[in-house]
Structure 1
Amino acid sequence: MGLSRGLVAIVAAVAVAGGTAWAGAGATGGGAVQDSVTRVEAYLDGIRDEPGRLREFVSGLPKGVDLHTHLSGAVPTDLLLRSAARDDLCVDTSSFVASAPPCGTGQRPARDATADTRFADEIVRAWSMRGFTPGAESGHDHFFAAFGKFGAATSHKGELLAALASRSAAQHEFALEVMLSRQSGAVQELVTKVGADTDLARLRDRLLADGAMAKIVKAARADADADIAQMRAILRCGRTDADPGCGLPLRFLLQVTRTAAPEVVFAQMLLGFELAKADKRYVGVNLVAPEDNPVALRDYRSHMRMLGYLRGLYSEAHITLHAGELVPGLAPAADLRFHIRDAVETGHAERIGHGVGIGGEDDPDGLLAEMARKHVLVEIALTSNCQILRVCGGRHPFTAYRGAGVPVALVTDDAGIEHTDMTSEYIRAIRDYGLRYTDLRTLARTALDHSFLRGRSLWRAPDDHTPAPECAGSPLGGTAPAPACRVLLKASAKARAEWRQEAAFAAFEDRYDG
């Protein structure tokens, strides 16, 4: 089983890369490594049709990072229900919308669900996709409505982050990249004060004037401080019994609500770019809310121009965009022809969330080639797309992206609402597309490579999983990297996370060493 090698790797990942490690010391090249991979491939082939053994296999697989995680939708629904009960929230017995007390006519205290299992089940079904069957209400509508129902129960962000970090570590992920909203009310107040303006440069100047936006940036940074402190306390970070989630580097993506008024959308974008400049924990922006919403459709190209303008002024913030989360009938045919292309070419998206509508784009083959050339990754949410858009299995463009050389990574989207996790997403990909072990390893490596962790990658070039020259002669994930490799690891949060994952891959492969 290679026990000694795995123990060595634990020391390696802690001493060389820092933080939490799960085990494994890697190697570069060589027949022994290839033989190990061949044995893992053979094992996977032998258990494909055995659900229990397949889940056990995939559960232990290193999985990079979930690049598409909405904090409020990611945590288990029962955690939100417990939070609602603790805060004495009320739940409408018809709409199941949670709200602050006191409870009025047609409402019950959320704490009633602790003893009334039927009431609890009704809430969970309303707040998630559990047991949902499309009928008068579509999966799309049920999914997006859930956020408004449980929103009042998501105020303790540190608690949500703790749950997410613990689960991510248990899933053998190596970083956290979380989408959330910050200071939305303050941004709205500022926009109300300065007014609308179609001249983006002038609007930006007005938003920044007199340090108004700087005050909101300061408040958002304080929010992060408080949330992380609460998360670390819950996870017992710094103690001998600390949860492994403590070791995951955590980064935030600011959510921008695409259904808001144009000046509010721009102000939220500006906050995201300013935050990325001021605080390394904030790494970029993403547009959220239904892409097919009438306001979102109307303003789509305007939003891309806003991003293009801000990209020219700020180099620190990354851009990842929900684009192409559309199917015929959900939006006018004309909108299916340009959303992904505009996100890439005008909005400067480095990653695309969902991208299901690629087949309806003008010149889809040309767009695929462009995305491959620019290394624009697609965040593939198989369960989400099946539940919300009814695009499942062979109807999904996953294989089209891979066939065109576009980098892809598996993601959960909203794991709590959808009752999924990264293990389930990998199993679905294995089942639906016949993926091999080397495919799974590539997906995990690609995810970390395209994360917005700062610093150089461990790899010599994007989507080329050959070690950078400094580390070319060092066993990947090992205890004794060359001096130049050690310098790279010390300087780069991304390379350190990738090094830990390589150690974990080596230990994982050791399990099948015969």
Structure 2
Amino acid sequence: MRTFFIRFASLTSLLCLGLPALTQTTPQEQRAARAFHEAKASPLELHVFLSRMPKGADLHMHLSGAVYAETFIQDAIADNLCANPVTLSFTKNIGLTSSLPAQPICAEGQVAVATALKDQKLYDGLVDSFSMRGFVPTPGFTGHDQFFATFGRFGNMGDHIGEWLDEVATRAATQNEQYLEIMSSPSSWDVIQVATQIGWPTGPSDPIANPTGDATGASPAELAHLRDQILASPVFRDTLAQDRKEIADASATRNRIERCGQPNAAPACAVQIRFLGQVARAFPPARVFAQTLLYFELASVDPSVVGINFVQPEDAYMSMSEYHRQMLMLDYLHSVYPKVHITLHAGELAPGLVPPAGLSFHIREAVDLAHAERIGHGVDIMQENNPHALLKQLADHHTMIEINLTSNDVILGITEPNHPLPIYRAAHVPVALSTDDEGVSRIDLTNEYTRAALEYNLTYADLKAMARTSLEHSFLTGPSLWQQQDNFTRVIPACATVPLGAEKPTEKCAVFLKSSDKATQQWELEHRYKVFESNLP
């Protein structure tokens, strides 16, 4: 054990010196490193520096949580919604006035959301209710409670997904981001109803073979039979087609707002977006399986959907009690759809939030059973059984951790020195920074880069490696630009004879880039670094 900690300290020192595997430094990169070091003396100057720095991808963001409260208020006004001044939540109107423009008629004790534009107290109350702004924990109501309660308060709105995509893409473009993997939940209710009517398979649970939880009904044969029953319903195919249309319509709306493809296209058009189907995990197994199956099918036929994830509080009763069975579901569905990518919220837990046993196996089962290629949060890694062996496994298998510093702070109360980011880095587990729910948390990705640099004494080279890691572990199609995964020293031979990130690659390199969405974005990142570093004073 002592040897481990000595080695850990040595690796941490090396990483803080900015010595992770990177391409050979250039004079431009050295100048950028000096400028970063000088800016680091002032958090405000550092924020300005990092806002311009290329950041690659944000791989962990929920669309509904990424939108700012002010947007929800404007959308609710457009939808003629009402607001409850006591619960500070949106409600549906009970009718519209006959006068034009029509105004919402609200139930007793409620007011039109538009009232908030003339009532600053109500406006502030709604913004605070929909976010973490100004929140102060009280006995019995924690940051965790406030964070997850926000989502139920800004419901009842119409379809604004295309507008929300524009908002997050525009914010990303202003921070020199280029790729987003956005978690969203296309329509699934009708398929869930079909599965609920069919019911969950029964079968004996073997507590010896499954010591971590209930496996009843989750054998491959039982799940295969349930899948066949759900797929046989005409509702399933109708819902699948509806979901594809929802995504296409939202993307078209975003492109229209941003004038993509036109001479006056907005900078946000350059931000590439893909989707992850997010499954609500805190529900009975038939419902979870149906939604998961739907999104596996969706990702198999719609190239804009690149994978799936499980969401909702990991500490919720159903999330905890169903965790093992859900991992078995994913194990089975992965065998049927091996090309569909999987990233999972796992280890978004902290001591005291659940009993100690609940902290001991979630990350391990996510990778061993559910075939997760990335882990979201991973905060409780050192409470897992045999954590050092698990860290080695994550490093050996190049399983990336999506790091959400502000989210872990406001939800779990986990900050430096209790956050495992330095431990992951010392163990050579790939990590990348992400926002989680930037609207609810009132942050952006630049905030996370600034926070990481200041709280963990990261260097310019460290942050640059994280940006590269984000694209390396994206679910974009095609091979990587780099010869070896997570080793940013040598590019593939086809592009090795041209300066990295050159505006005009050789014909051979251009052919390769055209064949790979991932490599194209990686080359673009290197080009952005070339421009950024060359233009620093």
Do the aligned residues in 1 keep the contact of 2:60 with 2:436 (CA within 8 Å)? yes
| 1:383-462 → structure 2 map (5 Å cutoff) | 383-462=406-485
**What is the CA-CA distance between 1:469 and the residue it aligns to?**
1.9
| 1:22-421 → structure 2 map (5 Å cutoff) | 34-102=26-94, 103-136=106-139, 137-153=141-157, 155-197=159-201, 198=217, 199-421=222-444
Whole-angstrom CA distance in 2 between matches of 1:297 and 1:72: 24
**What is the CA-CA distance between 1:210 and the residue it aligns to?**
4.5
Do the aligned residues in 1 keep the contact of 2:60 with 2:181 (CA within 8 Å)? yes
**Residue correspondences, number:** 484
SS in 1 for 2:276: strand
SS in 2 for 1:286: strand
1:280-311: CA deviation from partner (whole Å, max 9, x where unpaired): 11111100000000011000000000000000
**What is the CA-CA distance between 1:175 and the residue it aligns to?**
1.1
Q: CA RMSD in A?
A: 1.4
Partner of 2:103 in structure 1?
none
**What is the CA-CA distance between 1:243 and the residue it aligns to?**
1.2
Do the aligned residues in 1 keep the contact of 2:50 with 2:446 (CA within 8 Å)? yes
TM-score where L is the length of structure 2: 0.88
Higher relative CO (CA 8 A, sep ≥ 6), structure 1 or 2?
1
**What is the CA-CA distance between 1:154 and the residue it aligns to?**
6.5
Do the aligned residues in 2 keep the contact of 1:272 with 1:317 (CA within 8 Å)? no
Whole-angstrom CA distance in 1 between matches of 2:36 and 2:502: 25
**What is the CA-CA distance between 1:247 and the residue it aligns to?**
2.1
1:469-507: CA deviation from partner (whole Å, max 9, x where unpaired): 211222122133233311111011111111111110011
Show structure 2 runs of 5+ residues with no match.
1-21, 95-105, 202-216
Distance 1:154 1:71, change over 3 A: farther
Do the aligned residues in 2 keep the contact of 1:256 with 1:288 (CA within 8 Å)? yes
SS in 2 for 1:69: strand
Show structure 1 runs of 5+ residues with no match.
1-27
SS in 2 for 1:312: helix
Specify which of 495, 498, 503 is matched with residue 527 of structure 2: 503
Distance 1:289 1:29, change over 3 A: closer
1:155-212: CA deviation from partner (whole Å, max 9, x where unpaired): 3111111111111111111112110001122222222343332221110000111544
Seq. identity, %: 43
Whole-angstrom CA distance in 2 between matches of 1:74 and 1:467: 34
Whole-angstrom CA distance in 1 between matches of 2:423 and 2:74: 42
* Amino acid corresponding to residue 149 of structure 1 in structure 2: R
Partner of 1:471 in structure 2?
495
* Amino acid corresponding to residue 256 of structure 1 in structure 2: V
**What is the CA-CA distance between 1:324 and the residue it aligns to?**
0.4
Whole-angstrom CA distance in 1 between matches of 2:299 and 2:493: 30
TM-score where L is the length of structure 1: 0.92
Whole-angstrom CA distance in 1 between matches of 2:174 and 2:156: 28
1:77-132: CA deviation from partner (whole Å, max 9, x where unpaired): 10011101111111111212212112212322111111111111001101100011
